[in-house]
Amino acid sequence: MARVVVISNRVPVPTELGPRAGGLVVGVKDAIKDGGLWFGWSGQVAEHTGGQPHLNRAGNVDYATVEISKEDYERFYVGFTNGTLWPLLHFRPGLVAFERVEFESYLSVNRAFAKSLLPLLKPDDLIWVHDYHLIPMATELRALGVKNRIGFFLHVPFVPPSLLDALPQARRLLRMMCDYDAVGFQTAQHLRDFQDCLRSMLGLVAVPGIGIQTDGHAMMPIAAPIGIDARAFARQAKRAASAKATQRLVDSLVGRSLIIGVDRLDYSKGLPNRFVAFSRLLEEHKEHRLKVSYLQVAPRSREDVAEYQRLKRDLDRRTGEINGRFAEFDWVPLRYLTRPIARASLAGFYRVARVGLVTPLRDGMNLVAKEYVAAQDPEDPGVLVLSRFAGAAEELDDAIIINPNDSDEITEAMHQALTMPLAERKARYESLFEKVCRTTAQSYCKDFLGTLTRQVPDLDIRESGMTADHAQHQH
């Protein structure tokens, strides 16, 4: 098998201290566990963007990282990727800012990264680019003469044409996506939205078995849902249940039920509505007072982006209000942490929680939903409350599915989960566990890389001179 070269904005260099929150790393690690190269930004700011990469090796994986300049940090990272693309792709046009200089920085950072990576590439490497920070990467690598197969996977949702069209340069980004050999999405819905955009904005339609054809090149769009190594996580959770941290948590509950939420502190995760819903639970279902504690782990994220600072202030205030209003001298209803905790502890915490709250307003997949299911005790499982707008809801339909825009619906779901009989909890868990074991980190990598390495009749296309218009008429 060819070497896999993963390119992502952030690289989990093993020397980094302490736990970090983020779904991409958790999901992708498996792609190169048998050897490979992981390239991207070190997370540090330096005088220039790109240049010669810093190399590290751990096990049989090589890590290569570069820095970005202060200006690019502001324009590329805080600006175009997290101030424009992130809100747009999470259906929040009201939060989208656009500045041409930031888009230029987005292109130039991708160009600099491509140049830094070039000397490390081998002719038969499979190049796998991840997420919205790096859409132009194939175009830039091709411009440098790279002939390898290059795939792209989008971890976040994709939007319908009426929304994408709000973005100046939307067509240019779509054309750049066509420079890949394969483009993957988390769900069938995201794939449909992408294909609608290609059709209505560029007049391109996929040909079965070949994909989207442009200038004698074929790009195959697919849905390849990401997953976790569910059985390994289940074992980790079982072990963690008797570990010190979990025992401390259980002791602190003194017999109360635990509701858990684990999310990067991000406005896409729907935390304010969740806090409102919890407050209403205590207000309207008084029987839960003193009987339940809600632990929200919300590690701070993208702290230089103004919207994230606003969100943190909002949640800090709401936490104070809820606890001020409902707490007793021996009971704090809402425990709210804004720093990450160790993954092993997390596994144990999920296991002892009666309810897992996953209520994002939009989410590409949401791995916390899958982790929560995998971590449960089969004899006494907890209940997952899941937003219908998380990609995970396409598969995990035995959860209590809610609309996260309706706080009352979340309140009702919490009550239903807290009072659900054991037989129903078990039945739902068994079906959910079977599903999280079916779509795993391994199956995700296999599906995506299988499509990337497929035999494509490129030459035939080139020889017959087929164009986008031809393709459209043929369909």
Tell me which residues are annotated as active site.
155, 363
Report the C-alpha gap between 373 and 350 in whole angstroms.
8
- The single residue listed with the structure tokens 């639970």 is 281
226 lies in the binding site for ligand GDG (CB under 6 A): yes
DSSP class of residue 430 equals H
In the region spanning residues 113 to 132, those forming contacts with ligand GDG, defined by CB under 6 A, are none
* Distance, CA of 253 to CA of 346 (rounded, Å): 16
CB neighbours of 50 closer than 8 A, spacing ≥ 6? 66, 67, 68, 109, 112, 113, 115, 116
Tell me if 365 contacts ligand GDG by CB under 6 A: yes
CB of 24 to ligand GDG, least distance (A): 5
- Pick the binder of ligand GDG from 135, 237, 277, 297 (CB under 6 A): 297
Q: Hey, which residues does 258 pair with through a beta bridge?
A: 293
Binding flag, residue 276, ligand GDG (CB under 6 A): no
Does position 346 bind ligand GDG by CB under 6 A? yes
Q: Is residue 24 near ligand GDG by the rule CB under 6 A?
A: yes
Q: Does 21 bind ligand GDG (CB under 6 A)?
A: yes
For the bound state, the minimum distance from the C-beta of residue 229 to ligand GDG, rounded and expressed in Å, comes to 11
Shortest distance, position 44 Cβ to ligand GDG, whole Å = 21
* Closest CB to ligand GDG among residues 89, 417: 89
Stretch that binds ligand GDG, among 17-25, 43-51, 190-198, 244-252 (CB under 6 A): 17-25
For β-strands 50-58 and 61-69, DSSP reports them as antiparallel
Residue nearest to ligand GDG (CB): 23
- Positions in 245-274 near ligand GDG (CB under 6 A): 262, 264
Which of these, 464, 185, 237, lies nearest to 343 by C-alpha position? 237
Based on CB atoms, which residue is closest to ligand GDG, 14 or 203? 14
* Rg of the chain over all Cα atoms, to the nearest angstrom: 23
Options 35-43, 236-244, 335-343, 464-472: segment touching ligand GDG (CB under 6 A):
335-343
Distance, in Å, from the CA atom of 403 to the CA atom of 373, rounded to the nearest integer, reads: 20
Q: Write out the two tokens for 413.
A: 């779901």
How far apart (Å, rounded) are the C-alpha atoms in residues 71 and 45?
9
Residue 404: strand, helix, or coil: coil
What does the binding site for ligand GDG look like in residue numbers (CB under 6 A)? 19, 21-24, 26-27, 155-156, 226, 262, 264, 297, 299, 340-343, 346, 363-368, 371
